[in-house]
Amino acid sequence: MYHFSGIFESINSDGTLWIKSDDLTILADLHGAKTYIFPNTVVPDSSFQNQTVIDLGEVPQRIRWDRISSLSGEARVFIGGCLVNRNGRFIFSTVPDMPLLIIFYEGSLEALSVQAVYAGRHRSEYFNFLTPYGFILGAFSQIIIAIIYLARPAYLMILASAFTAFFTPLLPWIPPGVLFATLYRRLWFQARIYRSYRDLIIYGIQTDEPASLAKSYNRKAYFFEVISWFFLLAGTCINIFFIGLIFLQFN
């Protein structure tokens, strides 16, 4: 297992990437590799209190290897993985259960390390990459249920339950509960920062801070997570209460 950092030189049609440093050129086989682009890495401040200047909104983008040729010749590349011998030539390559990691970035390698730690923390537990698919699937199923029972007055309660389930994931984001949902996002953001501080110490990237401080940051992250979930639940309950009052007014 090795890692290497250099400047993007070229890419062959067979998916072989060439990276050069001051005195060395390395090859990498892009087939099966996990390839990312980290935009706008910034040199981190030495103080934890100022490291939030790194834009946490900038997330790494997965890129297909056949699109890499469009990158500029000055892009920097980080490679981590197995260096194997193929016909007398050493090349970075994916091996079973161990894909090659390739990151294209701008700025310094130190900034990339910090940015990677920040990007690895959860942005939100309520919304993740599965949320849109789950919402679409749930909404489709509730619509089907509503259509089936729409013409059956005896099943009015089932119809009402289907519509309620359809809108339940959106409840925290309608007034007046949206205020609590906003606090949830802000508190979760703060918890994410504390988790990043913790991991920067654990991974040995932030060497100026004592190792014992990692436990303190972990406790703070846990505290903000709990409080954030409380506000999200409170906003949801408030909206349910007002929707119930409106429903009673019309019945």
83 pLDDT more than 60: yes
**202-223: average pLDDT:** 87
Q: Place 46 in a pLDDT band, splitting at 50, 70 and 90.
A: very low
Q: Which long-range contacts (CB under 8 A, 24 or more apart) does 157-165 make?
A: 165/138
Q: How far is CA 213 from the centre of its chain?
A: 25
**Domains of the chain and any CATH numbers:** 2-119 (2.40.50), 131-249 (no CATH)
- Is the model more confident about 35 or about 208? 35
Q: Place 41 in a pLDDT band, splitting at 50, 70 and 90.
A: low
pLDDT reported for residue 44: 46
* Region class of 87: left (phi > 0), else alpha (psi between -120 and 50), else beta: left
Least confident of 47-61, 170-184, 202-216, 231-245: 47-61
pLDDT reported for residue 52: 40
Task: Determine how many CB atoms are found less than 10 A away from the CB of residue 57.
Answer: 6
53 pLDDT more than 50: no
pLDDT digits (tens, 9 = 90+) for 144-201: 877 777 777 667 677 677 777 777 777 888 888 899 989 998 998 889 889 888 998 8
| Contacts for 214 with CB less than 8 Å, ≥ 6 apart | 197, 198, 201, 202
Q: Which residue, chain included where needed, has tokens 């089932």?
A: 158
pLDDT digits (tens, 9 = 90+) for 14-39: 888 899 988 889 999 998 899 988 86
Q: What is the mean pLDDT of the chain?
A: 80
pLDDT reported for residue 225: 92
**131-143: average pLDDT:** 78
Q: Give the sign of the dihedral formed by CA 157, CA 160, CA 165, CA 170.
A: negative
pLDDT reported for residue 59: 66
What pTM was computed for the model?
Answer: 0.67
pLDDT reported for residue 166: 72
